[in-house]
Amino acid sequence: MMDTTLATFENDVVVASQQAPVLVDFWAPWCGPCKTLGPMLEKLEAEYQGGFRLVKVNSDENPELAQHFNIRSIPFVVAFVDGQPVDQFVGVLPESQLRAFIDNLMPNPADTERRAAYTALDEGRRDDAYRHLQTALTLDPAYDEVRLDRTEWLIEDKRIDEAREELARVSPKVAQGIDSRYNAIKTQLDAVEIVAELPPPEELSSKIERDPADLEARFDLANWLIAEKRYEPALEQLFEIVLRDRAFKEDVGRKTMLSVFDLATGRPEIVSAWRRKLSAALN
């Protein structure tokens, strides 16, 4: 068990969950149920002998993290696997239900291949990483998260046609539903495709400098920045669009900001700050 803060969250949770599932327990000293759940989770962490990692967040001392996860009641537990939040619960569960919750996070063979893919990627063995993802899909063709992994990597490798084909294979329940990761990756892919037809960023910046009300140039520059994964300056341009004209391209500034928030889940300090700014601007 360890404590984390906004400053250390990415390393303690997002990065660590690439190796084993991480349970993030939001609690507070005044919370009675937290005093029941916490020791239960600590006991199970010891019993599972490294099968998962328990990380505690004092919600009173870390309000930005509590806001980032839209927490309304504690104890609140969110599970991270492979850098992504995958499940959660509120309140105190019986130990049998806690075990079932944790067991559901444990890797199956396709998960093992997915982890091997990320290990290979971290070690610079990109071809091996792709092979592991393909094996995972052979074991579980309906594993949408692996398809999204592969789409992300293909975008990074500028294999755009293949990325679009892979994204099209994602199940309809994900593609047509409200899936933040799918929407974020689609935004990234759209941006990469759009910028191929756009003027260079320097030219767009000059246009904005000459005419700050040129929202088309701001949106084009935001797409360049999204394509380059420079999320904070992209949010600056999109926020300016929101401030100047909510109706521009059917509220594209706000809608694209929400997708960028999903793209930047590993940077909660950035997301929290810009969520606050957007909320204040809309109220």
Known active-site residue 135: no
Tell me how many helices (H) and strands (E) the chain has.
15, 5
Q: How far apart are CA 89 and CA 48, in angstroms?
A: 20
The predicted pLDDT at position 266 comes to 78
**CATH hierarchy code of domain 195-282:** 1.25.40.10
* Closest by CA position to 67, among listed 268, 267, 231, 262: 268
170 burial level (CB within 10 Å; 0-12, 13-18, 19+): buried
Strand, helix or coil for residue 90: strand
Task: Look up residue 12 and give its DSSP letter.
Answer: I
256 close to 175: Cβ distance less than 8 angstroms:
no
The residue written with tokens 């091997």 in the block is 116
- Range(s) within the chain of domains with CATH label 1.25.40.10: 109-174, 195-282
Catalytic residue (choose from 20, 31, 139, 258)? 31
Q: What angle do CA 75, 19, 15 make, to 5 degrees?
A: 70
Q: Hey, what's the torsion of the CAs at 129, 10, 236, 279, to 10 degrees?
A: 120
CA separation for the pair 152, 141 (Å, rounded): 18
* Rounded Cα gap, residues 272 and 204, in angstroms: 28
Q: Could you please state the CATH topology (level 3) that the domain comprising 2-103 is classified under.
A: Glutaredoxin (3.40.30)
User: Per-residue confidence of the chain (283 residues) as pLDDT tens digits?
Assistant: 899 999 999 999 999 998 889 999 999 999 999 999 999 999 999 998 888 999 999 999 999 999 989 898 999 999 999 888 999 999 999 999 999 999 988 878 898 899 899 999 999 999 999 999 999 999 999 999 999 999 999 998 989 999 999 999 999 888 776 677 888 899 889 898 888 899 999 999 999 999 999 999 999 999 999 998 899 999 999 999 999 999 999 999 999 999 899 888 778 889 999 999 999 999 8
pLDDT of residue 184: 86
Helix (H) or strand (E) holding 111: helix 109-122
Annotated catalytic residue: which of 14, 34, 167, 241?
34
Nearest to 190 by CA among 171, 170, 163: 163
Where exactly does CATH 3.40.30.10 map onto the chain?
A: 2-103
Tell me the CA end-to-end span of the chain in Å, nearest whole number: 40
31 is catalytic: yes
The predicted structure's pLDDT at residue 209: 96
DSSP string, 220-241: HHHHHHHHTT-HHHHHHHHHHH
Q: Note the pLDDT of residue 177.
A: 67
Q: What does the pLDDT read at residue 144? A: 93
> What's residue 262's pLDDT?
85
CA angle 253, 232, 269 (to 5 degrees): 115
What does the alpha-carbon distance between residue 57 and residue 77 come to, in Å, rounded to a whole number?
10
What pLDDT is stored for residue 112 in this prediction? 84
Q: Residue 161: which residues within 8 A CB-CB, separation 6 or more?
A: none
Please report which helix (H) or strand (E) contains residue 3, including its range: strand 2-3
Say which CATH architecture domain 109-174 belongs to.
Alpha Horseshoe (1.25)
Return the biggest CA–CA distance within the chain: 64
